[in-house]
Structure 1
């Protein structure tokens, strides 16, 4: 991710997350699974006070190294998002909002985090998160890029072929091209997330399905234009 993050984060995740989160000066925001702190620093630039945590102590070390100019605005911690007691220690009723960028699919059990967020957020506080779109990036999805000559014009089409969607299941995957080993993600249908949060006192009041904008390289590769590669939710605490 580095300092500038990758194209997926810059064009798909960050703009929609900022639109749904609507950070204002002085808000307290919880950044869940913060990685190297890329978005934590962005939140601070937008005026927020940030508490950021990750399960990986190494990631937190990287975040601290990259955030030397932000340590008066960002507090980094090593926390397990599946440990309810550790989450509650972050501060009951402390946060105006919480965010998790492309992380919930990496967490085996979301029930403890969901319960904790109901306690951590202030009344009317929001939780915004992004995940790979489960309708178009389900286990064993085939990405298809076709080129056809139609009446002297080269036409390209992108499509996906899926055979699984409804059943939650773990699967090994490559998240970023070039990573040395695969990792587990936990596929869940859209209804799983909605039912989980509604059952713990949240309401769904924001939803985005962003896609890439067509550019000069369109037609040369599989890219996500009409098929959104991610989906973002905003749940609000009642």
Structure 2
């Protein structure tokens, strides 16, 4: 099973409780993870043209919605946290004519249908699908919301290298007269879908829910609704400032699917 409808309400309540803390932490520019890994590669795959209409799914505090407006797009942005949408409107008030914020649950096919038919040139979801209990209504709706040949770009924690139970290992050895430190990861499971609790930002009042799904699940779900995979990035940090280096282990996966047929 890769859909957990019974956890939708719990997930939403947790994000609503954490909304203020996440917005305060992300601020105007978001964190390093977003600035160095998510934004540049997502923009590359989206390839936004001026006056395009872009759907920003699970937009959070609106930082990426603002970025899309800055480069000339008209944005429809939604999140299921009303608090997040309130914060997003405050942070993006200078783009009030370019960004239309809505409170919508991405697990509700009925609410998603309100966004219209073939009105979006592209859609984007930054680090969100692994936080959504049931993504099948969203993927089915995207086939209807996107214009012919429209694209959907989304980033997720890399399911191959960031499954639940991941262990980070740092080893030091004396190698030919030099002290060498090696970082690696240890995983014990990958194929089995699993919901779990996680802390994304230190100090959040309650863990939020995450939903691990193997890569094959994502691919097959999009193939089912007439999308083709035509772009992929696996960015990693190349200049580390902390003790654990991720230069050879990508913590994030970014995929671009294109509507066909």
Q: Is residue 160 of structure 1 aligned with residue 185 of structure 2?
A: yes
Quote the residue 2:256 is aligned against: 234
1:142-157 alignment runs, 5 A limit: 142-157=167-182
Quote the residue 2:210 is aligned against: 185
1:192-203 alignment runs, 5 A limit: 192-203=217-228
The alignment partner of 2:69 has SS state of helix
Quote the residue 2:165 is aligned against: 140
Match for 1:36 among 57, 61, 85?
Answer: 61
Distance apart, 1:176 and its partner CA = 2.1
Quote the residue 1:223 is aligned against: 245
Q: Which runs of 5+ in 2 are unaligned?
A: 1-25
Match for 1:3 among 5, 28, 40?
Answer: 28
Quote the residue 1:74 is aligned against: 99
Distance apart, 1:157 and its partner CA = 1.3
Query: Structure 2 length normalisation: TM-score?
Result: 0.88
Quote the residue 2:21 is aligned against: none
Q: Is residue 130 of structure 1 aligned with residue 155 of structure 2?
A: yes
Aligned length: 235
> 2-side partners of 1:66 and 1:214: how far apart?
30
The alignment partner of 1:180 has SS state of coil
The alignment partner of 1:5 has SS state of coil
Query: Structure 1 length normalisation: TM-score?
Result: 0.96
> 1-side partners of 2:49 and 2:170: how far apart?
42
Return the structure number with greater helix share.
2
Structural RMSD (CA) = 1.0
> 1-side partners of 2:116 and 2:95: how far apart?
21
> 2-side partners of 1:28 and 1:111: how far apart?
23
> 1-side partners of 2:74 and 2:147: how far apart?
15
Distance apart, 1:46 and its partner CA = 1.1
Distance apart, 1:180 and its partner CA = 2.6
Distance apart, 1:100 and its partner CA = 0.2
> 1-side partners of 2:248 and 2:126: how far apart?
22
The alignment partner of 1:160 has SS state of strand
Q: Is residue 204 of structure 1 aligned with residue 226 of structure 2?
A: no
Give the 3 Å change call, closer, same or farther, for CA 72–124 of structure 1 in structure 2: same
> 1-side partners of 2:171 and 2:67: how far apart?
38
Give the 3 Å change call, closer, same or farther, for CA 107–15 of structure 1 in structure 2: same
